Amino acid sequence: MTITITAFERSPDGGKGLARDTRVRWALEEVGQPYQVRPVSFQALKEPAHLALHPFGQIPTFEDGDLTLFETGAIVFHIAQRYTGLLPDDANARARAITWMFAALNTLEPPIVELGMALLFERDKSWYAARLPMLQDRVRVRLGELSRRLGDADWLDGAFSAGDLMMVTVLRRLNASGLLDEYPDVAAYVARGEARPAFRRAFDAQLAVFNAASRS
Ligand code: GTB
């Protein structure tokens, strides 16, 4: 049974791989599991067939036989637990890698998404100019802390893990904001993640879907 994931039929990110299916594709590429992608239109996201897979009507979902999952944290964790390559064998190192997955999703992603939403949807609002620096500073605080923890290391805790995969995909959403430029070591960390062959394959696969949709 081949794993099936869902992704946007036509991603609003212009093929930059910023939608959350990229982290699931990347995880599957890292562990060498083949998968197929079912593209879903915005309309179909909210229809009963998709809502049966994802109660919030979002992408991505993950199906493998009689198992259906939603939420990228749960999906990447499942992939990392089931296959070799994304979590260390040592129990403590494994727990620390999982901690970084949660840190990416619970501590870094919320202020980064909040900033992204403001940049995309609030530019015409009266409060935008006053709110923007506050949102940027909240992200800067986390980037500074992450930079201190990374130090000279390539990855967050020893070898590359699902924690790094999640962190890099979260940080990639800052690419257009310019904030990563203020933290060259964090920018280099993101670039190291993006240079991994498994990331390149995942990125190229989502870009191919975007390009095909643009031609149709
Ligand atoms: N917590 C969930 C998870 O981690 O799986 C969040 C899933 C989610 O936000 N999915 C988004 C979605 O389906 C796509 S990734 N949205 C449709 C809806 O809610 O109706 C978010 C996203 C969208 C677009 C860009 N972009 O254009 O750059 C980036 C990220």
DSSP class of 108: I
Cβ-in-10-Å burial (0-12, 13-18, 19+) of 139 comes to: buried
Per-residue pLDDT of the chain (216 residues; tens, 9 = 90+): 899 999 999 999 999 999 999 999 999 999 999 999 999 999 999 999 999 999 999 999 999 999 999 999 999 999 999 999 999 999 999 999 999 999 999 999 999 999 999 999 999 999 999 999 999 999 999 999 999 999 999 999 999 999 999 999 999 999 989 999 999 999 999 999 999 999 999 999 999 989 988 887
Q: Which two tokens stand for residue 112?
A: 């980064």
Length of the chain: 216
- How far are the Cα atoms of 69, 123, 140, 141, 211 from residue 60, in angstroms, in the given order? 9, 28, 28, 29, 19
CB 62 within 8 A of CB 24: yes
Tell me the residue type at 134: M
Give residues (CB < 6 A) around ligand 1: 12-13, 18-20, 45, 57-59, 71-72
Mutation to probe ligand 1, out of 10, 11, 16, 20 (largest number of atoms < 8 A from CB):
20
